[in-house]
Structure 1
Amino acid sequence: MDLSIPWKNTERTFIIAEIGQNHQGDINIAKQLIKAAKEFGADCAKFQKTNLQEKFNIAALKRPYPSIHSFGKTYGEHKARLEFTENNFKDLQNYAREIGILFTASAMDSKSLSFLVELDVPFIKIGSGDANNFSLIEKAAETNIPLIISTGMQSFATVKEIYHIVSKYHKNFALLHCISAYPAPLEDINLNVINLFKSEFPDITIGYSGHELGTHISTAAVALGCKIIERHLTLDKKQKGSDHACSLEPEELQELVSNIRTLEIAMGKPTKAMRFSEELCYEKLGKSLVYAKPLKEGYKLGFNDLITKVAEPKGIDGSEIRKIVGKILAKDVLEDESVLKEHLL
């Protein structure tokens, strides 16, 4: 099994297109979504794998589900209509491999976790709905497969418990800040939680799973240091299903990826120095030291003998004044003359 971690050892943000169940239970739509994820710049196409009897109790499956988004009379019938078989998943994995995009899924229960392990996916996602399912999280951690865990609907105490459970086995996991509302109201997103996670969990990767409308909030999460971004993908926001409204259509995914890649270039590295592109401006407007008055050879320079101006020729940079004070002149100099290295002993 390849235990390499897709989001590590790279400067690029790892972008997940969460297809989830936006495929409407149609394998061909699922493949169209995988293709769109690949064509518009995502690194991974992700689905959801559920064993209904493992995830839901009997009463939950029998509950009437009269929603406009329903694919069945009961919630169980609805979920069954949207659930792919194991063979379907193998087919989708093969298709993703053929077109060159990573494929994985959220494990919604223990049996689905075991299946995804057998499928040899590059990582396993634990969704927000299972972030308090410590038994499932521990079983997932025991596999030593890299994990991405969303933290919607959870307290910070629960998030810390997730961290401690997985850390007993490895540090090949990421925590995603997430608000489980579809769409998420801006006032509830609290991107500053990303800074909290980075401070509390400095030895793992922090990311963001967004359910807000648009792309700018997810781009901002990258500016705050997120190395993983997950967004739902749909072919049409008007399709039946509760996730479509907060999903990105392919062109929006392309916009998000483009904005993130542009931001990554602009973020650069924490190195402050004059850049190559600034040199022309410096030659034109950068200020140099000049002499405040005529001075004789052998004179010892003081602060009051020097002024900072735009000067021709370009002299010693104004920031060097403290290094120049106390130097001895090697020749006579004129008022307003640029201070040059060859003037000094």
Structure 2
Amino acid sequence: MAGQAGADACADCEADLHGRFCHLCGHDSRPPPRRLRDLADDLLDNVFSFTTALPVTLKSILLTPGAVPRAHMDGDRSRFLSPVKLYVTASLIFFLFMGMTGVVMLQVRIEKTGDPWVRIANDEIFAGGFQGLPYWLQRPTAETPDPEILAALEAASHQQEGADDFDRSSVTVLREFIQDPASVNGEIATWMPRALWLLMPLYALLLWPLYARGRLLIEHVIFSLWAHSLMFILLVLGAIWNFLGVGHGLLLALVLYQVWITRGLRGYYGSSWKGAVLKGAALNLAYLFLLWLPLIIAFAMWQASEHVPLSYWFEE
């Protein structure tokens, strides 16, 4: 006869237990043992939903841009990763890939073109006899920097006439960067994820004047999360392209990004092809010059300022 549910009652039918198994329904009162596989399933299914949602989401992003953010906006949570999970997953894949392969975002290889010289005049740095070539999404180079270039930079870092502490510190940072072209990537890896959490809502605000009529800000935020997730995925593809020896992986990623953003705008907002092309180009130009460029300049100045004596900031 069923009794009151309690510590010695069956969890299924609430009958009194007289041993491990319920005499009415056969329920085992002991919880099943947890296995390492169960924890892995929890990680994949409950945290990232890799087993079902991720493959479908990635396939839709690549084949039908705009469908994923449109489903998010329509409240369809059954097929795709949620907007935040999609962004977190894409960024995690990107940084894990970079760490496991040794790929760095940026390195500048210096080549001598003549007799190297560097000098500072009127708060500007002038140089000649060498050039810097940026390499994106590649493993760090093992090339030794030319000693003549380092010597020219060293001399400029001690120049007194026409230079102040900030100018000399900027040259010092440049010299250290040449000695270790991949050194700045530690700071990039630290600050890039933080900066993107700030830039994503600003990206949504850039979308607002382009698609303001009858739209809510949350719609633009959803598209912004999708667009930044797409960028992480394409950067990985660009790095793999470099592995194949073709080169120009970043250019490939940026071109594909522009194409997919155009298709995404058309699928998500219902734009015409002409409107999606024009608005997509305007969006990314504004994003680059109004948001990323000031951020890069501020980052470079901050790096230089770390080498400036404290007295420089308190001079009268």
Return the TM-score normalized by structure 2.
0.24
More helix by share: 2
Query: Greater Rg, structure 1 or structure 2?
Result: 1
Return the TM-score normalized by structure 1.
0.22
More strand by share: 1
